[in-house]
Amino acid sequence: MATETPGRETQETLSNLLTETRRFAPPAELAAAANVTAEAYEEAERDRLAFWERAAERLTWAERWHTTLEWNAPFAKWFVGGKLNVAYNCVDRHVEAGLGDRVAYYWEGEPEGHSRTITYAELQREVAKAANALQELGVRKGDRVAIYMPMIPELPIAMLACARIGAIHSVVFGGFSVSALKNRIEDANAKLVITADGGYRRGKPNPLKPTVDEAVAECPGVERVVVVRRTGQEVNWTDKDIWWHDIVDRQPAEHEAVPHDAEDPLFILYTSGTTGKPKGILHTTGGYLTQTSWTHWAVFDLKPETDIYWCTADIGWVTGHSYIVYGPLANAATSVIYEGTPDTPHRGRFWEIVQKYKVTILYTAPTAIRTFMKWGADIPAKFDLSSLRILGSVGEPINPEAYVWYREHIGGNRCPVVDTWWQTETGAIMITPLPGITHAKPGAAMRALPGIVADVVDDKGESVPNGGGGYLVIREPWPSMLRTIWGDDKRYVDTYWSRFEGLYFPGDGAKRDEDGDIWLLGRVDDVMLVSGHNISTTEVESALVSHPKVAEAAVVGASDPVTGQAIVAFVILRGEAEESEDIAAELRAHVASTLGPIAKPRQILVVPELPKTRSGKIMRRLLRDVAENRELGDVTTLTDSSVMKLIAEKLPAAK
C-alpha cells in the first residue's frame, strides 16, 4: 500500500488506470433465449443455499442430502448426507435418457486424419471397461491414481473410471518433468499410474513413457503402470507395466456405479505455485459437480442439443477437468478435444477445427489470443467461423485490446466474450459476465455469479468503495471450493484463510470500478511499488499492448535505488513492426499518455519471445532476475528454456 498520500497529479493518473469506456450488450436474440436471466442474481441473494440446492437438483442423486452446507470455518461440507456417482451423472444417465447416440467427444488428433467420434453410449462402455480393469488391478475406493497422458480419449475415460469406483485421480500435465511427476506421485502416494507411450506435439511423437519410467523407479509405492498405445513408438518395458488394450479391452462393458458420499474425494490437482512444494488441491464429489455443471450451462448458455463446445485447455489443468470433462459431460454436451498445438501443421489449425465441427462455443486463454493477434487476422479470416456464438477467456487478465480483437476477428462482432475468473482452488467459475445479461466491458470479469459472494477489500480487510482497488476476497463458502490441501490442513488455513480474518484470499489484486464491476489485476505478487504507489503489471502491459506496434508485453518491478521499484517492460513487436532506435522512447511516451507518468517504464526491452509456463502464464520471476542482473532461478517449468538465453542477449541493448 502507498506509504504517502499521492499527489494530485498521481491521483488523477491512477484513476485513469484501466479506463475503458467500450461496452458490449448481449445480442437480443441470445438474451431472449438465455438459460439464465437477471432474476437469478436476486434469487441467490434472497437465499443463497436454496439457489445452490436448485443447482444440485440438476444432477441425479441416489440419496438426497439432509444438510446443504456444514460450515466449520474454513472447512466446508456441502450436500451432507447426499450420495451420487459422478460417472453415472456424466455418462450413464444420459444413455438412460435416450441420448446414447449423441456425440460426447469429437476427438481430433494432431496429425491430420487422426480423429474419432465417441457417443455417450460408447463412452459408457469404455468407462465401464476401464473401471472393471482398475478393479482387477486392485484399485479400491480412496486409492490414488496418477494419470500422465496426452490429450487422447483415454484420458477422460481414465478419470471417469476412477470417479466411478471412488478412486482419487491426480492428473499430472503431460509436459511436466520427471521430478515434477515423481513429487506428485509421492505426495499423493499413488499406487497406480496411467500413461501412454507418447502423444503428438508439434508434428512429431512426443514420448511420455521414459519420464514415467524414471519417476516410477524412485516411487516404490507404485504397484502397476497402465500404458495406452497412442504413437506406437518404442518403449522400455518393466514388470510393473501393462498395456491398456491388454487389460481394458477384455473387460465386460457393464459396471455397476455405486453411489459415493457427496464429500468423498473426487480428485487432487497440484498447483505449481511459484515457490515451495506444489499444493495438492483436493476437490470432492457433490459440490464440485454441482458448480461445474451449473456454471458450464449458465456461463456458456449451453444448449446441449445444438451446441458444439470446444475448450482448448489441456485436461491436465483445472480448466480441462472442469470444462472439458466434468461440467460438459454432466450437461450432456457435445465437445471437441484437440490433441496438439495451434500451429501444427499450420497457424490456422484452430480455425480449421472450428470450421470442421461447426463449433458454437469456444473457450480459450488470453495467451493464445495474443499469439493469434501476433500471427495476424488474415489467418482466421480464411476460415468459416460463422457457427460461433459465444467466446470465453480464462487463465489471466485479458487485455482490452486482446478482448476486442477476439470479439472482432474470431467472434465476427456478434459473439459475447465471457472473461471468466476462477482458480484450481475454486474448482469452477466464480466471477464472469453472463452472455445473455451482462453489458460486458473489455478486460473486466464484471461480477460474481449468483450464489458467489466476492468483494474487493483494502489492507485491513474492509470493503473498498466503488472506484477503489485492493485485494479480491470471497466472503462465503461455495460448493466447488477446495476442501483442503492434500495431507496439510494447516497449509490450507495459512495459505487461503489467514491474510484476512474469515475471508478466502485467492492471492489476486482487483479493482472495483464506478459501476461496482470487478477488474482482476493479476497476482498480488505481480503488483509493483513505484515511489510508494501500487501499479499492477497487468495495467502497464495492457497499455503497451494497446500500442499498434506491440504484440505482447510482460512487465516486472525491478529494485531501484530511487523509486523502490522501477518498471521494466519486455515487449514482442507485431509481425510487421520494425525494431527501430526510438521504439523504446515511443512506447514509454505511449504508456505515459495512457496511464500517466508514474507508470512509465524505466526500461523497455524488445525481445523475440517471453518465458511462459506450460499453462501459459508469464514467469515474471525470471524476468525480474534478468532485470535485476541476477542469475536465473529455476527454469524447469518453462515451455522452452532457450527463451531466457535469447532475452539475456538483448540485455546490453536496454534503453
Is 550 annotated as contributing to ligand binding?
Answer: yes
423 touches ligand WT7 by CB under 6 A: yes
Is the distance from CB of 172 to CB of 202 less than 8 angstroms? Answer: no
Number of Cβ within a 10 Å radius of residue 273: 11
The per-residue DSSP string of 295-320 comes to: HHHHHTT--TTT-EEEE-S-TTSHHH
Q: Pick the stretch among 221-229, 314-322, 480-488, 561-569 that binds ligand WT7 (CB under 6 A).
A: 314-322
Q: For residues 395 and 470, give the distance between their C-alpha atoms in angstroms, rounded to a whole number.
A: 20
363 touches ligand WT7 by CB under 6 A: no
Select the residue interacting with ligand WT7 from 318, 428, 605, 618 (CB under 6 A): 318
Q: For residues 311 and 152, give the distance between their C-alpha atoms in angstroms, rounded to a whole number.
A: 14
Report CA-CA distances (Å) from 373 to 221, 343, 580.
47, 13, 21
Q: For residues 196 and 483, give the distance between their C-alpha atoms in angstroms, rounded to a whole number.
A: 31
Q: For residues 314 and 246, give the distance between their C-alpha atoms in angstroms, rounded to a whole number.
A: 27
Q: For residues 417 and 432, give the distance between their C-alpha atoms in angstroms, rounded to a whole number.
A: 10
Cβ within 8 Å of residue 404, ≥6 positions away: 22, 442
508 touches ligand WT7 by CB under 6 A: yes
422 touches ligand WT7 by CB under 6 A: yes
10 touches ligand WT7 by CB under 6 A: no
Q: Closer CB to ligand WT7, residue 68 or residue 615?
A: 615
Is 531 annotated as contributing to ligand binding?
Answer: yes
- CB of 277: closest distance to ligand WT7 in angstroms? 16
Q: Closer CB to ligand WT7, residue 520 or residue 627?
A: 520
Q: Closer CB to ligand WT7, residue 13 or residue 319?
A: 319
Q: For residues 310 and 358, give the distance between their C-alpha atoms in angstroms, rounded to a whole number.
A: 10
Is 547 annotated as contributing to ligand binding?
Answer: yes
Is 421 annotated as contributing to ligand binding?
Answer: yes
- CB of 178: closest distance to ligand WT7 in angstroms? 22
Select the residue interacting with ligand WT7 from 156, 199, 320, 395 (CB under 6 A): 395
Q: Closer CB to ligand WT7, residue 319 or residue 480?
A: 319
- CB of 398: closest distance to ligand WT7 in angstroms? 7
Helices 48-56 and 286-299, packing angle to 10 deg: 90
- CB of 424: closest distance to ligand WT7 in angstroms? 3
- CB of 286: closest distance to ligand WT7 in angstroms? 21
Q: Closer CB to ligand WT7, residue 423 or residue 563?
A: 423
Q: Pick the stretch among 100-108, 152-160, 311-319, 350-358 that binds ligand WT7 (CB under 6 A).
A: 311-319
Draw the binding track, 509-548, toward ligand WT7 (x: CB under 6 A; -: no contact).
Answer: -----------x-xx-------------------------
- CB of 637: closest distance to ligand WT7 in angstroms? 12
Closest CA to 333 of 323, 342, 343: 323
Is 231 annotated as contributing to ligand binding?
Answer: no
Q: For residues 405 and 279, give the distance between their C-alpha atoms in angstroms, rounded to a whole number.
A: 35
Size of the site for ligand WT7 (CB under 6 A): 22
Q: For residues 600 and 9, give the distance between their C-alpha atoms in angstroms, rounded to a whole number.
A: 14
Is 508 annotated as contributing to ligand binding?
Answer: yes
Q: Closer CB to ligand WT7, residue 365 or residue 587?
A: 365
- CB of 365: closest distance to ligand WT7 in angstroms? 8
445 touches ligand WT7 by CB under 6 A: yes
Q: In three state form, how does the secondary structure of 521-568 look?
A: EEEHHHEEEECCEEEEHHHHHHHHHCCCCEEEEEEEEEEECCCEEEEE
Q: Pick the stretch among 174-182, 315-323, 597-605, 647-655 that binds ligand WT7 (CB under 6 A).
A: 315-323
Q: Closer CB to ligand WT7, residue 280 or residue 348?
A: 280
Is 560 annotated as contributing to ligand binding?
Answer: no
Q: For residues 598 and 551, give the distance between their C-alpha atoms in angstroms, rounded to a whole number.
A: 23
Q: b/e per residue, 7-36, with b = 16+ CB within 10 A?
A: eeebeebbeebbeeeeebebbeebbeebbb
327 touches ligand WT7 by CB under 6 A: no
Measured on CA atoms in the order 320, 324, 329, 330, is the torsion positive or negative? positive
**C-alpha Rg value of the chain to the nearest Å:** 24
Q: For residues 323 and 365, give the distance between their C-alpha atoms in angstroms, rounded to a whole number.
A: 13
Cβ within 8 Å of residue 585, ≥6 positions away: 655
Is 250 annotated as contributing to ligand binding?
Answer: no
10 Å CB burial of residue 548 (0-12, 13-18, 19+) is exposed
Q: Closer CB to ligand WT7, residue 155 or residue 394?
A: 394
Closest CA to 280 of 544, 39, 482: 482
Select the residue interacting with ligand WT7 from 85, 89, 195, 420 (CB under 6 A): 420
Q: Pick the stretch among 210-218, 260-268, 393-401, 456-464 that binds ligand WT7 (CB under 6 A).
A: 393-401
- CB of 383: closest distance to ligand WT7 in angstroms? 26
- CB of 615: closest distance to ligand WT7 in angstroms? 6
Tell me the three cell numbers of residue 292: 461445474
Q: Closer CB to ligand WT7, residue 152 or residue 402?
A: 402
Select the residue interacting with ligand WT7 from 394, 402, 569, 587 (CB under 6 A): 394
- CB of 536: closest distance to ligand WT7 in angstroms? 11
Q: Report the C-alpha dihedral over residues 167, 173, 175, 179, rounded to 10 degrees.
A: -60
Q: In angstroms, how far is the first alpha carbon of the chain from the final one? A: 29
Q: Pick the stretch among 36-44, 133-141, 506-514, 575-583 that binds ligand WT7 (CB under 6 A).
A: 506-514
Is 204 annotated as contributing to ligand binding?
Answer: yes
- CB of 448: closest distance to ligand WT7 in angstroms? 13
Question: Per the annotation, where are the binding residues for CoA?
Answer: 201-204, 319, 531
Q: Give the residue numbers of the binding site.
A: 201-204, 319, 395-397, 419-424, 508, 523, 531, 545, 547, 550
Q: Which residues bind ligand WT7 (CB under 6 A)?
A: 271, 317-319, 394-397, 419-424, 445, 506-508, 520, 522-523, 615
Annotated binding site for ATP: 395-397, 419-424, 508, 523
- Sequence ranges of the binding site for Mg(2+): 545, 547, 550
